[in-house]
A and B are shown apart, each in its own frame.
Chain A
Amino acid sequence: MRFISLDKAQDGMKLSRPATNEAGVVLLESGTTLTEPLIRRLLRIGVRSVCIGGDPDAATLDEALDQLKRRFDLTRNEAHMALLESAVAEYLKELYAD
């Protein structure tokens, strides 16, 4: 999933996390399909970004994990690096889970 700024949101996009206000109150449930009037209403309330599927730098989880693996190529076997790599991998799996 990825967060996009609300002014770039478009009709038809589907929320992959609930849209909340700054106090954390849920305004729209996860899975809601955005429409122009909904986007305008969120903007008026002051919501700045919403979460939709995917990531700007990697389209799929496999791609994200593959990139992660390559980033650790030179340092994987050193102290603490394996822990860091697996913590980030776990995070990416949660991020991409819909």
Chain B
Amino acid sequence: MQTREAFHHEMQQMQELSTIPVIVRKLLQIFDNPYLSLSDIAAFVSKDPVLTARLLQVVNSPFFGFKGRIGSVAQALLLLGLNQAKALLMGMRLFDFMKEMEGLWAHSIGCAIIAQITARRKRMREAKELFITGLLHDIGKVFMYLKLPDTYRSALEMAEKNRIPIIDAEQKLFQSTHPEVANWVFENWNLPRYFIEPIRYHHKPSLARTWPTRSALLHVADILTRARGFGSGGDSLVPLLDETAWTRLAMSRSEINSILWESEQFIHEARSFLADE
């Protein structure tokens, strides 16, 4: 077994590693190149028909509020903003490599939609960003799996056999966990802090210093998604609600009910259109 430090170092090098799919590496390079214009980026994305179709489906879906009005990749990038578009496109492509962990994509979509609906109800202006944060909150699992597939499979088996949360199995086998891994990789990928911090602390939102409300919201959205039973995050247990996060959101019983009703239709729609063609 390697040490936590060695694993940390390897994960930080993730961008250069062959384990990262070529398309994701290219997306990162293109979005980070200051000399490229929006239309250069749009031209690159347009070359990938699957990615183009999914991007247009997402921005035209009712929960983004531009229903049926966005016809071009450039328009979609402009409306989402480059940081959001980068995270969304990368996330969609990365999940393609996680087919083995059935249910993670469905769980991620569920969390994305519940996070966005909750943010809207709480009148937060960042609802769109919270959709993408929700979609990517468990991406650390994908990184761990890409790096050490056999070990990650053992973690999944251990979680199921012993009925423990997957995060505890990760800690045992990797001496590290998926929020920590996502943090290591994303810091090197220059994603904005408002994505990274909530993802890093979605199991311990009271540690978030700069973005406590977003972190609390992501934490609660993840737990609501698990409680409702959309997809699977690697185990089927509902983790503990963090006291501070729960108090911060002040969610009533009837509000939980409304959020679940509002998300139900969107989630089933999204599951069909974000799935593999």
Contacts and interface: CB of A to CB of B under 8 A. Distances in A.
A75 B239 contact: yes
A78 B240 contact: yes
A84 B269 contact: no
A22 B265 CA distance: 12
Given A90-B257, A91-B260, A80 B241 contact: yes
B253 A87 contact: yes
A2 interface: yes
Nearest to A3: B268
Nearest to A64: B229
B273 interface: yes
B214 interface: no
A7 B250 CA distance: 39
Interface stretch (B114-122, B184-192, B220-228): B220-228
B260 A74 contact: no
Contacts of B68: 46
B257 A4 contact: no
A70 interface: yes
A36 to B, nearest CB: 20
Given A46-B68, A87-B256, 20 more contacts: A3-B264, A5-B269, A8-B272, A22-B67, A49-B268, A51-B265, A58-B229, A71-B229, A71-B237, A75-B239, A78-B241, A79-B243, A81-B241, A83-B253, A84-B224, A84-B227, A85-B227, A86-B253, A87-B253, A88-B260
Nearest 9 Cβ contacts at the A-B interface: A3-B268, A5-B272, A87-B256, A91-B260, A88-B227, A3-B265, A87-B253, A71-B238, A80-B241
Interface of B: 62, 67-68, 163, 223-224, 226-230, 236-241, 243, 246, 253, 256-257, 260-261, 264-265, 268-269, 272-273
